[in-house]
Structure 1
Amino acid sequence: MLRQASAALLLTLSLIGCADDRRAERLKAAGPNPTLEKLMTVADAKAGARLFGTCAACHTSSAGGPDTGGPNLHGIYGQPIGQHSARFGYTAALRAKGGVWDDKAFDAWIANPQRFVPGTKMQFSGIPDPLARADLIAYLRSLSN
């Protein structure tokens, strides 16, 4: 599982700048040291969909799709943390976290799942790039519209 997570991180990092010729322009528009709120104004759901390819090793995103290594993420934005899928076996730590999956929660989770929820079984080290996280959040939002 750790090997799978490491491979997924390497793939994610290689895709961050890939096929995004507007990346520099979007970062400039967000301003120096942009907040998550500013990054969300320039986030690109299509770039996030490309990044989701890494997540697809464990998650599905289609309406009615199955839970696999992780829960199906279709419609997760705005839902209570650790309760989105009635079929998935969330850890006690994730069920006890509280809150909802919003921009701030997703940003912290995608940056470092183990720091956001100590005790999670998600074996992914996170995405260090704030714009890539914003793009992925924009994609997850689009699955809930």
Structure 2
Amino acid sequence: MKPRNIAVLMILPCLALVACGDGDRAERLKAAGPNPSLDALMRVADADAGGRTFGQCLACHTIGKGELDRAGPNLHAIMGKPVAGGSARYGYTAALERIGGHWDRATMSRWLTSPQRFAPGTKMTYAGLADPLARADVIAYLEREGRSR
């Protein structure tokens, strides 16, 4: 097979993934209104889009009920659990333990925006998710997965 044909075959799966993307993003943003609040974004959030974004989290986290922790804790049913208390088996940093409270939508959005700003000294190296709609989508996914598994 010619190198050019091989390159085309390698690109096709990537194009298929793009086709499965968030085609209604612009409509959802419009429906949320100008300068939308987290509540407005949650009304248009798409848990399936959040699941696709959450794929990058799977390098360090699991989400299935009873699954083991990895470099980060298992996130099954994390919403509503104490910050630094979602997994009894995981060793949370003092930086995260100092935060206190529980994981709600606003707290999770702040965490996803910038873990380092949220809890200076945390060992989570993820830079953050700048897109507010993507954060709302991930939160919708976390809420759905906590109920469905």
In the alignment, structure 2 segments of 5+ residues that lack a partner are 1-16
1:98 aligns to what? Answer: 100
2:4 aligns to what? Answer: none
Deviation of 1:16 after TM superposition, in Å, equals 10
1:88 aligns to what? Answer: 90
More helix by proportion, 1 or 2? 2
2:122 aligns to what? Answer: 120
Deviation of 1:96 after TM superposition, in Å, equals 1.8
Structure 1 residue 38 corresponds to structure 2 residue 40: yes
Does structure 2 retain, via aligned residues, the 8 Å contact 1:39–1:131? yes
1:10 aligns to what? Answer: none
Residues in 1 aligned to 2:86 and 2:97: alpha-carbon distance in whole angstroms = 10
Does structure 2 retain, via aligned residues, the 8 Å contact 1:110–1:133? yes
CA pair 54-20 structure 1, distance change in 2 beyond 3 A: same
Which residue of the other structure, out of 52, 55, 79, is the alignment partner of 2:54?
Answer: 52
Does structure 2 retain, via aligned residues, the 8 Å contact 1:45–1:142? yes
Does structure 2 retain, via aligned residues, the 8 Å contact 1:17–1:23? no
Deviation of 1:93 after TM superposition, in Å, equals 1.3
SS of 1:144's equivalent? helix
Task: Give 1:73's aligned amino acid.
Answer: L
1:135 aligns to what? Answer: 137
CA pair 41-79 structure 1, distance change in 2 beyond 3 A: same
2:7 aligns to what? Answer: none
Does structure 2 retain, via aligned residues, the 8 Å contact 1:44–1:135? yes
Residues in 2 aligned to 1:107 and 1:50: alpha-carbon distance in whole angstroms = 17
Deviation of 1:143 after TM superposition, in Å, equals 1.9
2:146 aligns to what? Answer: 144
Residues in 2 aligned to 1:102 and 1:119: alpha-carbon distance in whole angstroms = 21
Following TM superposition, the consecutive aligned residue runs of length 4 or more in structure 1 with deviations greater than 3 angstroms are 15-18
Residues in 1 aligned to 2:19 and 2:108: alpha-carbon distance in whole angstroms = 20
Question: In the comparison of the two structures, how many residue pairs are matched?
Answer: 131
Residues in 2 aligned to 1:70 and 1:26: alpha-carbon distance in whole angstroms = 31
Task: Give 1:127's aligned amino acid.
Answer: L
Task: Give 1:31's aligned amino acid.
Answer: G
1:8 aligns to what? Answer: none
TM-score normalized by structure 1? 0.87
Residues in 2 aligned to 1:57 and 1:92: alpha-carbon distance in whole angstroms = 23
In the alignment, structure 1 segments of 5+ residues that lack a partner are 1-14
Higher relative contact order (CA 8 A, sep 6+): 1
Task: Give 1:133's aligned amino acid.
Answer: R
Deviation of 1:17 after TM superposition, in Å, equals 10
